[in-house]
Amino acid sequence: MSISFPKELANRKQWICWRLEPNTKDGKDSKIPYNPLTGRKASSTNPNDWSTLDNAVAAKEQYLYTGLGFVFAKSGGLVGIDIDHCRDKNTGELNDTAKAILERFPSYTEISPSGTGLHIFYKGEMPAKGNKNTKTGVEMYAHSRYFTMTGERLPGTPDYIAEDNGALAWIHENYIKSKKRRGKSKKDSKVVKLEPLTDEEILEKARTAENHKEFNLLWEGKWQEAGYPSQSEADLALCCMLAFWSGKNKEQMDRLFRNSGLFREKWDTVHHASGATYGQETLDKAIEVTENVYSRESESVIFEHEGRYYRTRGESVYPITNFIIQPVEMIVSEDETQMTADLITIRDEVYRQTFMTTDFNNIQKFKNILNRRTISLGYFGSEGDLELLKGYISEMEWVQKTGVKALGIYEHGERMVYVSTDGAIEAGGNIVEDIVQLDKYKSITTDILIFEPLTKEQLVMLGEWILSYNEPIKTVSVMAWVAGCFIKPHLKKSGIKFPHLLLVGEQGSGKSNTLERVILPVFSCSKIRAATQVTAFTLMKESASSNLIPQLMDEFKPSKIDKCDRQVLLNKFR
């Protein structure tokens, strides 16, 4: 296979391999990243797992990986746009979203491995928060993600990566940024008007919409103040807004535009050999690039009223919950999202619940979460209503945090922080607000963040006690290993393996006492498992639960452990 990439990508040491593997949770295939040099699973946040393009290509051919991947690095100066299901695999025809982006801001663009998506690259930085919009199918990433690469450039696009000349902000505003819904009270639920908006209604809504400032400036003809480099671009922008509100009614768009401050003689000037005027061409272009349109029916598909959520369908309106949701926080990790919210019933009862995105997959899972601690929360809608409710909830104002699976130490915002389900701190004990461990991965627990830091004097006193507890040569070795646990992430980045600690001695030599009275308190843990009680599942779960705190086991006596259980432990030790 002939592989060709722009030098801006090919010369970077940000390449990995990936392989399609079945997901044990849902049976579907997942794209698992691999380190080209070690053959181990790779992380999109650890540069030590990435390599050169040549090494990735060689590993792919030698070890039969499914494909190559390019990882976006922090401060790397590159941003990737991923557009799903935008290309007909057989004809190559693009949807309106892809056409609008590439016509306005052409840059190096690849066809995805499926043949139905596109990856576009720009030089620049993320313009705002938010990476994904499921409605438009557009995603935007600058770090901590990787793209599956093909080297198959989309015909007609440049072979280089273009500078960001406003492209990223425009794409984010139009295809990533959530448009906030406003809950509506409907006391008369029987009347739902579905007629198109009148000219007066369009102006009223446009002047109070989220982008009302831009609309008002364009309507008054103040296109320079609106930030447009030319009046022609401003004309198209206003026509796109009119296309949205009018449902692409060309006659109504033309009538409204003629009443705006942008109207000029050029509007009726023949601008094409076909006899089309400048105005007709501008209206046609606006209709072509405008993907979504307003309709009265879609305005309030889900709305809040008197402590419930309602669904409108045609002229019918019906309740789907007996509660409303008040967001607390949204924790976003590499491959899943956790949401915590207060659910307030019609009787003003408040229940704090934590959801994973998969809890909205079907009604039964959603109801199981609602009924976890009470029978007061009810959902009465269909599967389709639940999908709409999920979209409604996603557009609420959430406090967003970064989520990690394992308790431990991470590089975050160019600093090292300690993270657990209780929160996070950096050096000096300063609290870090925007990163936390996901609740579902909480297995190994610790109270480290609960206790006040020890003073220098307390450490000196404690050191004297510890060193007098046993022979110093033994104690120092144990404490050095314990201290090393707190720098394991640094050692891993340097390729240094961390050893096991085995306390071996005769009965009564103090093994259990050392474990319980010296090692355990350092990690502020309270749980020690007997080696005879662990299973393959608990070993795996606790291993994934922390990158810092060790799995503490007592009574490891191979001769007294069942053969199968012993083999599980030995395999783990390896």
> Which of the residues are catalytic?
82, 84, 119, 139
Q: Are 353 and 369 in contact (CB under 8 A)?
A: yes
Question: CB within 8 A of 225, min separation 6: which ones?
Answer: 217
Distances from the Cα of 559 to the Cαs of 31, 44, 135, 555, 565, in angstroms?
Answer: 42, 43, 60, 11, 11
Structure tokens belonging to residue 389: 């409710």
DSSP output for 305-327: ETTEEEEEETTEEEE-BSEEEEE
Sign of CA dihedral 165, 170, 171, 177: positive
Instruction: Determine the Cα–Cα distance for residues 232 and 420; give it in Å rounded to an integer.
Output: 54
Angle at 397 between CA 396 and CA 398, to 5 degrees: 105
Please report, to the nearest 10 degrees, the dihedral formed by the alpha carbons of residues 365, 371, 376, 379 taken in order.
10
Binning the chain into helix, strand and coil, the percentages to the nearest 5 are: 35, 20, 45
Q: How many residues does the chain have?
A: 574
| Angle of CA points 240, 243, 246, to nearest 5° | 150
Asked if 523 and 448 touch (Cβ cutoff 8 Å), the reply is yes
355 CB-contact burial (10 Å; exposed 0-12 / middle 13-18 / buried 19+): buried
Helix (H, G, I), strand (E, B) or coil at 9: helix
100 neighbors 118 (Cβ within 8 angstroms): no
Q: Which residues contact 55 (CB under 8 A, 6 or more apart)?
A: 15, 36, 37
The token pair that represents 13 in the structure block: 């040491």
Number of other CB atoms surrounding residue 338 within 10 Å = 22
Give the CA count within 13 Å in the CB-facing half-sphere of 293: 19
Strands 553-554 and 529-530: parallel
A 10 A CB-CB count for 182 gives 9
